[in-house]
Amino acid sequence: MYIKTTRHIKITVVPVYLTEQSDPAERHYVWAYTIQMENMGSETVQLLNRYWHITDATGAVQEVRGPGVVGEQPVLQVGNAYQYTSGAALRTPSGIMTGKYEMTTQQGERFFVDIPTFSLDSPDQVNRPN
């Protein structure tokens, strides 16, 4: 479990390797990750956009940008949480993901919330660098 709080928004990430969807012989490794966002602040916020920086074991980078998460732009009332599950695939048995969410307050102030850097490790990884 990986946790980071930025501006009273707590982000928790739990990655899981998906053996049944992975095929090491074809260099195809798949993970699911569940993210929970908790609004521990004093104002309602909405998630607008996401940015991911994904690095595999060879140093190859993928960047993903777009509106919302899993087709939604959730509103987080004070004290509430939102959770979703998504996935990532790599051509190596390990990697690292990190990113940011762009949020807005009800007054229109935009700010970024850091997603904690988290490790993607498969049982096929001999040395776990992450």
What pLDDT digit, counting tens, does each position of 6-34 carry?
A: 999 999 999 999 999 999 999 999 999 99
Q: Would you say the pTM of this structure is higher than 0.85? A: yes
Is the pLDDT confidence value at 129 over 80? no
The residue extents of the domains of the chain are 2-121
**In the predicted model, what is the mean pLDDT of the chain?**
95
2-121: what fold?
Immunoglobulin-like (2.60.40)
What confidence tens digit (pLDDT) does each residue in 75-93 have? 999 999 999 999 999 999 9
> Among positive and negative, which fits the CA dihedral 93, 66, 73, 111?
positive
Is the pLDDT confidence value at 68 over 80? yes
